[in-house]
Chains A and B, each alone.
Chain A
Amino acid sequence: MKIRIKFSKQGNMRFIGHLDIMRYFQKAMRRADVDIRYSEGFSPHQIMSFAAPLGVGLTGSGEYLDIEVLSTESSGRMVERLNAQMAEGMEVLSFKRLPDSAGNAMSLVAACDYTVSLKKDYEEALGMSAREFFAGLCGFIETGDLNIVKKTKKGEKQMDLRPYIYEYRPSEDGNFIFLKLSAGSAANVKPELLLEAFCRSCSREFPVFGFSINREEVYADAGSGDSHEFVTLESFGEDIE
């Protein structure tokens, strides 16, 4: 039975890298006695895959992993059992059954939501208040030159970010910005890319540690061709009674 788990990774857990998060969940599954399916062979491992690695330093409130189980209690009970085993900063938000035909989380990823705020200490260094920075960023996304050079494994490549920015809006008080960006294998646009491009456009050094970035949600694209229809990864599953 395929299961999709939604979780959040907050607080000090932002310093734990992706590989360690995988190990963390493997151990958590055993502590919670989840009847997880193991691979065949001499050294069996848990059938488990993650939607999208979250960079060290970032937090997430809508992270996903898929597992397969042989048996399960209700969604509510499983969330409880797992949460009894979480470290501070980690929380399981949902535990849903996927149709057998469902694709794995990683292959589905098409977009992510982020909120980005500027840390107080960095306003002075940038010479801009958070409000000014995010208002400027919105203007940049509208009319600026969004061609960037992206470093890849094979070298550098030119990339126009504009088609991959699906939504952007500053918060009401202007102190942070909401972004919906393309993600996944087709075009993975991290918010840092955009922030860095904006800083460069206004001749400011990009403060690597200056932003708090939270990934709010991860989406698949149910649309066809150029028309996107983003649906959360969670929506593929249904509650187990």
Chain B
Amino acid sequence: MRKLALSDEILLSIQQPARYIGGEINSVCKDPSSVDVRFAMCFPDVYDIGMSHLGIQILYDMLNKMPDVYCERVYSPWTDLDAIMREKHIPLFAIESQDPVKDFDILGITLQYEMCYTNILQILDLSGIPLHGSDRTWDDPIVIGGGPCAYNPEPIAEFFDLFYIGEGETAYRQLIDIYKDSRKNGESRETFLKRAAGVPGIYVPSLYEPEYHEDGTLKAFRPTCPEAPEKVVKQLVLDMTEAVYPEKPLVPFIKVTQDRVVLEIMRGCIRGCRFCQAGMIYRPVREKNVERLKDLAYKMLKNTGHEEISLSSLSSSDYRSLEELVRFLIEEFHGKGVNVSLPSLRIDAFSLDVMSKVQDVKKSSLTFAPEAGSQRLRDVINKGLTEEEILQGAADAFKGGWNRVKLYFMLGLPTETVEDMEGIALLSEKIAEEYYEIPKDQRNGKVQVVASTSFFVPKPFTPFQWARMSTKEEFLDKARVVNRKMKEMLNHKSLKYNWHEADVTVLEGVLARGDRRVAAVIEEAYRNGALYDAWSESFRNDIWMKAFETCGVDIDFYTTRERSLDELFPWDFIDTGVSKEFLKREWNNAVNGTVTPNCRERCSGCGVRRFGGGVCFEDQD
């Protein structure tokens, strides 16, 4: 029987002990003494969320295929166990071997959303690893961050030794070899970090120094030694078909958020929505070959026993072999107790046809993401979805028996006016009216249109990185405008409107475009009890506000301030392949309401062509 880090008494008095015991199907068990490098891969949120993340499954599989590496998993203990571990001084452990994280060589932390930043400190703290990279010795693991939030690592830079910029499949082998060599030669930690800085995509924050203008904006950001490059270039996989992919993903015992086989069909997005960070940093679009996907679907279903398979991409409708793939999945697996789930599909004749085959039309709802309420604002954000398309899609769906529609919008987008906000209510109303066009005897009861708005947060490496963000009060006023208009609609009884809290959005705004001076606030908030900020039940805005005050950090500087086009941003040292010139052009196009065609219609010269692959070279396939 595998030993456990926690006693029966503890495991039987906390929620979901299965989060902490490991032993899941397809988990990897190696003899730690038989490997050179022990890697702890951490998702800084609760197991149920972390186990649902595809990226970790890919890296876990990739690293464990290396005979000299043993990769194990670490998640944030839930608040109940967190309290017990602090009280009883139990060090945080990895799931597989149950050994303390502090004994590992490398601790990798994935950065999927800003609101997990206090959980990073929890992981370090519970592990007994100094929070600041500068305080660590060879007694501590090398702490490396990666994932989308690594594209602006500055607010958390001092908590990390390294960041990996880009897709994890490419550079870990080289980094691990340098680590092994460095340790074998008895080099200092500093020497290792300098050597690591030479690995493409690796950013070593301690080797750079920011300098600020008097107004607080960045004056310069320079490497302090010759080993550190001026620009860190993002890493990416060029051949998605040949790229490593887990044929035996982990199967948790408890029901987690993503309890299904996830088939990544492509990476990147051709659409170029101007608010979307993923759409920019994952450029260029790269597809996985459909035959490879069919083979993976078989193997992954067989190896997991999952009863559902889902496609993953930023915009599945743009996958060129979608029809072939979906028809294959339905024919092969549907009716054998396997559900086929199809998120992020554009609503058209094809998608309605396949959805009617795989879903119970009466129970499911139709989802549109117009993101903005008016055509004018949709042009500003470059969301290529017109009102005609939405209404036509809804009309077709209603004829097919659907009667529930979900709509997703953002409030606080650049240039937004009252008309744009009210447009959310008007569009919802038009959809409801579309339903009542159907003769009464052919209707399936009442229609329900649920519109939800989130508040817009400008993100680095998007054309909106220059945008002013709204204040909390402005956000809530905007939501009230929509709500009022909703109530005026003829079919208001068929419409429902939801909006989010604004506090957490403001904080996300600071962390997203923050610089190194924000780190003190994160640490202060953590020390005063902030944790699991992504969970509304545990988010404590008062702690954060106090921390900003204590640290003398001005929220508005990071959120509502107007940024000039020539401002040097804290993240500008990263090269995503997408040029700042392109982003500026797109920002101007946004302000002028000019639509930019998608990558397949016409190349807009964003810069990623130089990587030499993907959609940029599709016609030459």
CB of B5, distance to nearest CB on chain A (Å): 12
Across-interface contacts of A222 in B (CB, < 8 A): none
Across-interface contacts of B335 in A (CB, < 8 A): 44
- Answer yes or no: A120 CB below 8 A from chain B CBs: no
- Answer yes or no: A143 CB below 8 A from chain B CBs: no
List 10 A-B residue pairs with CB atoms under 8 Å apart, sorted by A's residue number. Answer: A16-B253, A20-B255, A27-B304, A27-B307, A28-B305, A30-B301, A30-B307, A43-B360, A88-B23, A209-B12
Across-interface contacts of B2 in A (CB, < 8 A): 11-12, 88
- Answer yes or no: B354 CB below 8 A from chain A CBs: no
Instruction: Tell me whether A44 and B255 are in contact (CB under 8 A).
Output: no
Across-interface contacts of A16 in B (CB, < 8 A): 18, 253-254
Contacting A at CB under 8 A, from B248-275, are: 251, 253-255
Do A23 and B12 form a contact, CB below 8 Å, given A12-B2, A15-B21, A45-B337?
no
Contacting B at CB under 8 A, from A79-115, are: 85, 87-89
- Answer yes or no: A77 CB below 8 A from chain B CBs: no
Binding site for B on A (CB under 8 A): 10-13, 15-17, 20, 23-24, 26-31, 33, 38, 42-46, 56-57, 85, 87-89, 208-209
Instruction: Tell me whether B24 and A11 are in contact (CB under 8 A).
Output: no
Contacting A at CB under 8 A, from B295-316, are: 301-307
Across-interface contacts of B9 in A (CB, < 8 A): 209
Across-interface contacts of A28 in B (CB, < 8 A): 305
- Answer yes or no: B8 CB below 8 A from chain A CBs: yes
Q: Closest B-chain residue to A16, C-beta based? A: B253
Do A12 and B337 form a contact, CB below 8 Å, given A24-B253, A27-B305, A42-B360?
no
Do A89 and B302 form a contact, CB below 8 Å, given A20-B255, A24-B253?
no
Q: Closest A-chain residue to B13, C-beta based? A: A209
Do A57 and B12 form a contact, CB below 8 Å, given A11-B1, A15-B21, A89-B1?
yes
Bound state CA distance, A77 and B255, in angstroms?
A: 30
Across-interface contacts of B254 in A (CB, < 8 A): 16, 20
Instruction: Tell me whether A12 and B4 are in contact (CB under 8 A).
Output: yes
- Answer yes or no: B168 CB below 8 A from chain A CBs: no
Contacting A at CB under 8 A, from B13-55, are: 17-18, 21-25
- Answer yes or no: B11 CB below 8 A from chain A CBs: yes
* A20-B18, A24-B253 known, 6 other contacts, Cβ within 8 Å: A15-B18, A20-B253, A23-B253, A30-B305, A89-B23, A209-B12
- Answer yes or no: B339 CB below 8 A from chain A CBs: yes
Across-interface contacts of B303 in A (CB, < 8 A): 31
Q: Closest A-chain residue to B19, C-beta based? A: A15
Q: Closest A-chain residue to B9, C-beta based? A: A209
Q: Closest A-chain residue to B24, C-beta based? A: A87
Q: Closest B-chain residue to A21, C-beta based? A: B253
Interface of B is mostly: loop
Size range of the chain B interface in the assembly: 20 to 34
Instruction: Tell me whether A26 and B305 are in contact (CB under 8 A).
Output: yes
Bound state CA distance, A10 and B1, in angstroms?
A: 9
Across-interface contacts of A27 in B (CB, < 8 A): 25, 251, 304-307
Q: Closest A-chain residue to B11, C-beta based? A: A15
Bound state CA distance, A31 and B254, in angstroms?
A: 17
Across-interface contacts of A31 in B (CB, < 8 A): 25, 302-305
Bound state CA distance, A44 and B338, in angstroms?
A: 9
Lowest 7 A-B CB distances belong to which pairs? A27-B305, A30-B305, A31-B305, A11-B1, A15-B17, A209-B9, A42-B360
Within 8 Å by CB of B17, from A11, A33, A38, A56, lies A56
CB of A15, distance to nearest CB on chain B (Å): 4
Bound state CA distance, A11 and B18, in angstroms?
A: 13
Q: Closest A-chain residue to B12, C-beta based? A: A57
Across-interface contacts of A46 in B (CB, < 8 A): 337
Contacting A at CB under 8 A, from B127-143, are: none
CB of A59, distance to nearest CB on chain B (Å): 10
Within 8 Å by CB of A29, from B21, B22, B305, lies B305
Bound state CA distance, A24 and B253, in angstroms?
A: 6
Bound state CA distance, A158 and B4, in angstroms?
A: 39
Across-interface contacts of A17 in B (CB, < 8 A): 18
Mark interface residues in B358-369 (1 if CB within 8 Å of A CB, else 0).
001000000000
Across-interface contacts of A23 in B (CB, < 8 A): 253, 255
Instruction: Tell me whether A209 and B8 are in contact (CB under 8 A).
Output: yes
Across-interface contacts of B1 in A (CB, < 8 A): 10-12, 88-89
Across-interface contacts of B304 in A (CB, < 8 A): 27, 31
CB of A207, distance to nearest CB on chain B (Å): 10
Mark interface residues in B82-117 (1 if CB within 8 Å of A CB, else 0).
000000000000000000000000000000000000
Q: Closest B-chain residue to A12, C-beta based? A: B21
Bound state CA distance, A208 and B360, in angstroms?
A: 46
Mark interface residues in B505-534 (1 if CB within 8 Å of A CB, else 0).
000000000000000000000000000000
Across-interface contacts of B360 in A (CB, < 8 A): 42-43
Bound state CA distance, A23 and B253, in angstroms?
A: 8
Residue among B4, B251, B254, B337 having the largest count of chain A Cβ atoms under 10 Å: B337
Across-interface contacts of A45 in B (CB, < 8 A): 337
Bound state CA distance, A176 and B479, in angstroms?
A: 66
CB of A9, distance to nearest CB on chain B (Å): 12
Q: Closest B-chain residue to A57, C-beta based? A: B12
Bound state CA distance, A167 and B398, in angstroms?
A: 65
Residue among B17, B301, B304, B306 having the largest count of chain A Cβ atoms under 10 Å: B17
Instruction: Tell me whether A57 and B8 are in contact (CB under 8 A).
Output: yes
CB of A112, distance to nearest CB on chain B (Å): 20
Q: Closest B-chain residue to A14, C-beta based? A: B8
Across-interface contacts of A208 in B (CB, < 8 A): 12
Instruction: Tell me whether A43 and B339 are in contact (CB under 8 A).
Output: yes
CB of A211, distance to nearest CB on chain B (Å): 10
Across-interface contacts of A33 in B (CB, < 8 A): 302
Across-interface contacts of B22 in A (CB, < 8 A): 12
